[in-house]
Amino acid sequence: MYRYDAIDREIVADRAAEFRGQVERRLGGDLTEDQFKPLRLMNGLYLQLHAYMLRIAIPYGSVNAAQMRRFADIARQYDKGYGHFTTRQNLQFHWIKLADTPDILDRLAEVDLHAIQTSGNCIRNVTSDPFAGATAEEVDDPRVWSEVIRQWSTLHPEFSYLPRKFKFAVTASAKDRTAAKVHDIGLALRRSRDGTLGFEVMVGGGQGRTPYLASTIREHLPVGHLLSYIQAILRVYNRHGRRDNIYKARIKILVASLGAEEFARQVEEEWAKIDAPTNDLPDTELARIRAAFTPLAFETLAPHAGAYELAKASDPALARFARNNVKAHKVAGYGIVEVSLKTIGATPGDITAEQMDVVADLAERYGLDDIRVTHEQNLVLPHVKLDDIPAVHAQLAATGLASANINLASDIIACPGLDYCALANARAIPIAQHIAERFSDADHAEKVGELKIKISGCINACGHHHVGHIGILGVDKKGEEFYQLSLGGSGAEDASLAQILGPALPANRVAEAVDQLVEAYLRERQGEERFLDTFRRLGMAPFKEAVYAPAL
Amino acid sequence: MKAITANRLLDGEVVFWREGRWVERFGEAQLFADDAAAEEAVAVGKGQPTVVVEPYAIDVTEAGAGVAPVSYRERLRALGPTNEPTHGKQAEGGAAIEALLAATGAARSTGRVDLIRRK
Ligand code: SF4
């Protein structure tokens, strides 16, 4: 992984010291809350319903064991012994005290972590593929380019006060595990027929109140021009984005109102004015960053892992884990292990300090010191020898982290919702728990197959409900929690926005409705169809009837 | 009927106004039958910027088992998150907590919404 150099360390340490001074001035009465609020938000500190919440940036979802252990320490010492991974591959602590925050930031800085640019109208943490460097599908390592964007965008003076927040995703595989098409800019690395590496540049995607899928404005941007080109995009947005209206301030609104073609034309025009050689990344810098991601010391192993196969044959739980949570690695004899944070009955994305320590130990002992966070609120040990998987599985099971449900119906994304979030209309977590319980029979869950359920507690859509196969949005109907279901969304390479199923349902009807949708799917599905495929083939009618007809 | 609430600056804890002090338990909150008196207390609270953040009045009502905020969100603030019953004020239990848990209706409240507008 990328290691901080002296400059990175200085930036982070300076920033922590600066915030310490700001907190002192706030507590001493020299700063009003109005003056202080933007400063604390720039350091990831929100005031939520019950306490302060600190959001920590996890660059492109990549952490090492020492960093994970530090999260565990902070959870124990300054929070209630747990943390929450988000759809932005970040970590949130929900019970933080303002007075402790400067110490927490110092402790994070010691392991090269911070909370800079996790809030505010700036370029946020870059999303990337949690399988980067491990999957054979990728044409290049997307972390290299994510890191380039991270360095370029950190404290970027021109883009620190954009009309609104700004999110990048970088992917390099045909399979999209980043939800690139619902980011402000999605960058998909592709190799052209002549072998040159370029980005498909997609702009103007997003969720929230007005969801859009990103439009491609460049099919193949040579990678060397990345920085000058995204600078041109940001300049057009910075100039024309709707600063007058918070609901129209995201780039998606600008792209939609101009049309992708006209937007692309303006970007090209702006790009022509930029002196590319002085703005693009020098080859020496790229080489320096790339060196941080050089292939790890993989062993040469037999592709057939005898011990692993034997263990699977005698342990059905391990076999199930292998089917659902272990993915193909680019190196023979290795696997990518997904660690589900969706144990039935647990809070999606939550992890205790003890579990963090176990994951850190496993990463160090079996996983080349590498841990990833997925936007689906799970963790990944990207490099585990197949023959070590039985041991990893056993240790995960001992700490309650061996749920074999990746991509199944109980692997639900849920935002914190009204249980924590000051913006929420309704709770998301208990809804997720109720639904997950209905799929606690693992055979049934596997029979249903891939089903992505995503729940947001309000229209801001942090729970990605617009791209759920089944999306669920909490609304407030005359003071009661109601939930609007929508179907057919996808955040993957086959991206689509979900369509509303029908009138919102009361909380106690939601899990039952999901059951009815699944029953309808099982009745109608053909061959290997996923829920999403059946929906796409048949449309809304049979599903609508399944949920609403019984009430008639 | 009204009560006054805020978050404590130092740690974000949900607090309620009681006769010139801030207390942590909703059960100890001072109740105002008179809106003007409540607004006066809010004004005093706003004059304590190093103690609390953004004090505001909330509607409360007799809810069968006792007094509770009308809005569900305010009841959640007075209790703690529903997914972790041992976290927050609800952990303490007792009659006042039971009354809050028994109350129903009204998810949203006024006030609070602009607190983190920059999200
Ligand atoms: S979707 Fe709404 S309720 Fe959920 S975390 Fe985002 S802002 Fe809060």
Give the pLDDT confidence of A399-424 residue by residue, as tens digits.
999 999 999 999 999 999 999 999 99
Read off the pLDDT band of A270 (50, 70, 90): very high
Domains in chain A: ranges and CATH: 6-109 (3.90.480.20), 134-291 (3.30.413.10), 306-398 (3.90.480.20), 413-551 (3.30.413.10)
Read off the pLDDT band of A268 (50, 70, 90): very high
What is the DSSP track for A120-158?
A: SSSB-PPEE-TTTTT-TT-SS-HHHHHHHHHHHHTT-GG
Question: What mean pLDDT is reported for chain B?
Answer: 88
Read off the pLDDT band of B106 (50, 70, 90): low
CB-based contact B49 A29, cutoff 8 Å: yes
The Cα A544–Cα A523 span in angstroms is 14
Residue nearest to atom 2 of ligand 1 (CA): A458
Residues in chain A: 552
Ranges A4-13, A66-75, A227-236, B100-109: which has the least confidence: B100-109
A contacts of B77 (beta carbons < 8 Å): 49-50
Contact status, residue A151 vs residue A289, Cβ threshold 8 Å? yes
- Interface check for A377 against chain B (CB to CB < 8 A): the answer is no
**pLDDT tops 50 at residue B118:** no
CB-based contact B77 A50, cutoff 8 Å: yes
Report the greatest alpha carbon distance in chain B: 39
Q: Residue B114: which of A152, A422, A195, A276 has the closest Cα? A: A422
CB-based contact A96 B118, cutoff 8 Å: no
What count of Cα atoms within 13 Å lies in the side-chain half-sphere of residue A473? 28
- Give how far B87 is from chain A: nearest CA, Å: 8
**pLDDT tops 90 at residue A221:** yes
Distance B119 CA to ligand 1 centre (A): 10
Residue spans of beta strands (DSSP E) within A386-539: 413-414, 453-456, 470-477, 480-487, 499-500, 505-506
Percentage with pLDDT > 90 across chain B: 76
**pLDDT tops 50 at residue A42:** yes
Segment holding A215, helix H or strand E: strand A215-222
Search chain B and give the residue with CA nearest A162.
Answer: B118
CB-based contact A33 B53, cutoff 8 Å: yes
Read off the pLDDT band of B105 (50, 70, 90): low
Report, as an integer, the average pLDDT of A538-543.
Answer: 98
CB-based contact B108 A433, cutoff 8 Å: no
Contact status, residue A81 vs residue A352, Cβ threshold 8 Å? yes
B contacts of A426 (beta carbons < 8 Å): 107
A499-502: long-range contacts (C-beta < 8 A, 24 or more apart)?
A499/A540, A501/A540, A501/A543, A501/A544, A501/A547, A502/A544, A502/A547, A502/A548
Question: What ipTM was assigned to the predicted interfaces of this complex?
Answer: 0.92
Residues in chain B: 119
Phi/psi region, residue A343 (left: phi>0; alpha: psi -120 to 50; beta: rest), is beta
Contact status, residue A535 vs residue A487, Cβ threshold 8 Å? yes
Domain ranges of chain B: 2-116
pLDDT score for B21: 96
The Cα A156–Cα A116 span in angstroms is 12
- Give how far A523 is from chain B: nearest CA, Å: 34
Structure tokens, A137: 């599908």
Search chain A and give the residue with CA nearest B8.
Answer: A51
Q: What are phi and psi of A279, to 5 degrees?
A: -110, -25
List all residues 6 or more positions away from A272 whose beta carbon is below 8 Å from its beta carbon: none
The model's pLDDT over A129-181, given as tens digits with 9 standing for 90+, comes to 999 999 999 999 999 999 999 999 999 999 999 999 999 999 999 999 999 99
Report, as an integer, the average pLDDT of A261-266.
Answer: 98
Q: Residue A388: which of A338, A329, A334, A320 has the closest Cα? A: A334
Q: How many CB atoms lie within 10 A of CB A64?
A: 20
pLDDT score for B108: 52
pLDDT score for B65: 79
Cα dihedral across residues A522, A526, A529, A531: positive or negative: negative
pLDDT score for B109: 45
The model's pLDDT over A473-514, given as tens digits with 9 standing for 90+, comes to 999 988 889 999 999 999 999 999 999 999 999 999 999 999
- Interface check for B11 against chain A (CB to CB < 8 A): the answer is yes
The Cα A121–Cα A38 span in angstroms is 10
CB-based contact B11 A99, cutoff 8 Å: yes
| Closest in A38, A80, A424 to B118, CB measured | A38
Structure tokens, A116: 């800079």
- Give how far A34 is from chain B: nearest CA, Å: 10
CB-based contact B119 A26, cutoff 8 Å: no
Distance A186 CA to ligand 1 centre (A): 22
| Closest in B87, B113, B119 to A119, CB measured | B119
Search chain A and give the residue with CA nearest B70.
Answer: A479
Report, as an integer, the average pLDDT of B25-46.
Answer: 96
Contact status, residue A160 vs residue A152, Cβ threshold 8 Å? no
Whether pTM exceeds 0.90: yes
Sheet with A334-339: strands ordered across: A62-63, A371-373, A379-385, A334-339, A326-328
DSSP state at residue A63: E
CB-based contact B116 A98, cutoff 8 Å: no
What angle separates helix A65-78 from helix A101-110, to the nearest 10 degrees?
160
The Cα A358–Cα A335 span in angstroms is 19
Distance A248 CA to ligand 1 centre (A): 18
B contacts of A121 (beta carbons < 8 Å): 118
Chain B 14-73, residues with CB within 8 Å of chain A CB atoms = 14, 49-50, 53-54, 71-73
Q: Which atom of ligand 1 is nearest to the CA of A461?
A: 1
